[in-house]
A = this chain, B = another copy of it.
């Protein structure tokens, strides 16, 4: 059932997208829920938080401090070729919940060629009303939905998660940056459902010095409590657990601080791993594992600009967050559904966070909307029957198609890490890595003659195929067809991330008056947002 997306620019994305039960079981699904449960439910926890592919023991992190996630993989199915929909948080999460590429759902900017954009406090845009979000559709099958953690699809009233299908929310609309002075910039609010209940660095402290914050524990309790309540009510549920402890500023609660061999970032990973263990354990205690689909993934690659103290590992892959190299978009991914998904399996299906939308609908017996293009693939054939489906992975940066992967071949149409200007200031998305002609600091066009890599032999994108080889020509032929098809039919959505305005920041969120925490916004001056990379 449900699924998860990534949180980018943040820590770890683990969504618990639950639902247990569906009257019309997905094809090939034989549900054996206890008799008292007429309706079969399914839940799917996902966490999203810019954790890197290489941060899990099961993906080769040398300190191997994720026993719960590793066990989840041993009991479930690993997807080593699983991708976020964008190298940055907001667009990736918008894609997860809509099943559509950011270029379609509007989570991109046209303010600069190949520039990433997201939803800081001054953003005017957000998730358009015309987009159908997963929880909104799951409602049709009787699901209760909750988001715990970072929303990141817009913080103005019309973008509130409860206006887009979620029944409950505990968390924040933007990243946990701060502290701010509440004059030039307000601290980020934390919401319970419709109203704010405090702000980061005020009611919800994060100690930047020590890294201490108990937020992951709070988010864990919210998740556990929600699941227990749905079980009592015998309601199918979808839980989207979008934590962010591994997003700079990285934090962990006291019992985990200083316990990792990897420093503070590792402490945060350990706490998230522990929480995943507790979530799966509760599913066992509630005896709903057979009706609950759980997926763990991330919203973008590890942020190497924050490494090593506040950033993770992308394993053998090139570069990290913000880039369309593998390190920016290849994500850890584990599917877990004991008794349904065979244990200890690896699927080489090319997967995407957008597939969690389609797969969840399938699990709920629902069809995806037919009036629009849906990019997500139903992963049930891969998970239940080991079937592999050919499909491309598109790597966008803003409104620019940077690369595409088809089978084992990845073609780059544009290469760029960041500008020389930024790089000279020490902003490095590829520390210690330098592939000549590939990790470029000027935007290099290769649309006529893309750089093509074989990701099986060369997962690190170090050895472009020779332009003259038969292998190159064959790969190019396949890629060209797919891209032409994609671009011919593409209707970009209205770009949501172009306009900024200081007045739209979180000055006076609903509920602020009860807490005496309303602030006065400045004069409204809409401006073109500036996106540095």
Q: Which residues of A contact B (CB under 8 A)?
A: 54, 57-64, 74, 78, 80-81, 260-263, 265-266, 307-309, 313, 315-316, 318, 346, 348, 408, 431-435, 454-463
Contact = CB atoms under 8 A, between A and B. Distances in A.
Nearest to A304: B462
B60 A457 contact: no
Tally of this chain's copies: 2
B59 A80 contact: no
A294 to B, nearest CB: 21
Contacts of A62: 80-81, 315-316, 455, 459
Contacts of A308: 454, 457-458, 462-463
Q: Which of A62, A74, A78 has the largest count of B CB atoms less than 10 A from its CB?
A: A62
B432 A318 contact: yes
A62 B316 CA distance: 9
Greatest chain B CB density within 10 A among A260, A348, A459 is at A459
B348 A261 contact: yes
Query: Which of A78, A432, A459 has most B Cβ within 10 Å?
Result: A432
Closest 3 interchain pairs by CB? A60-B60, A432-B462, A261-B456
A313 B60 CA distance: 12
A266 B456 contact: yes
A209 to B, nearest CB: 16
Given A307-B463, A432-B461, 6 more contacts: A57-B346, A59-B60, A60-B315, A62-B315, A64-B80, A261-B456
7 contacts: A61-B316, A308-B454, A308-B457, A308-B462, A309-B457, A316-B316, A318-B432
A262 B316 CA distance: 14
Contacts of A266: 456-457
A318 B433 CA distance: 10
Nearest to A80: B62
A450 B96 CA distance: 47
Contact of A456 (B262, B435, B458, B462): B262
B462 A431 contact: yes
B318 A315 contact: no
A61 B460 CA distance: 11
A388 to B, nearest CB: 12
Contacts of A456: 63, 260-263, 266
A432 B431 contact: no
Contacts of A457: 262-263, 265-266, 308-309
Residue of A307, A316, A318 with most partner-chain B CB within 10 A: A316
A356 B74 CA distance: 29
Nearest to A313: B316
Contacts of A458: 307-308
A263 B74 CA distance: 27
A435 B58 CA distance: 27
B454 A263 contact: yes
A216 to B, nearest CB: 20
A316 B318 contact: no
Contacts of A313: 316, 459-460
A433 B461 CA distance: 12
Contacts of A454: 263, 308
Contact of A434 (B63, B261, B432): B432
A459 B55 CA distance: 12
Contacts of A261: 348, 408, 456
Nearest to A311: B457
Contacts of A60: 54, 58-61, 315-316
Contact of A64 (B78, B432, B462): B78
A471 to B, nearest CB: 11
A296 to B, nearest CB: 16
Nearest to A461: B432
Contacts of A460: 313, 432
A307 B260 CA distance: 33
B63 A80 contact: yes
A434 B316 CA distance: 15
A454 B262 CA distance: 9
A303 to B, nearest CB: 14
Contacts of A432: 318, 433-435, 460-462
A435 B307 CA distance: 14
A266 B457 CA distance: 8
A80 B61 CA distance: 9
Contacts of A80: 62-64
A58 B78 CA distance: 12
A463 B455 CA distance: 27
A77 to B, nearest CB: 12
A459 B432 CA distance: 12
Contacts of A64: 78, 80, 346
A313 to B, nearest CB: 6
Contacts of A431: 435, 462-463
A440 to B, nearest CB: 14
A431 to B, nearest CB: 5
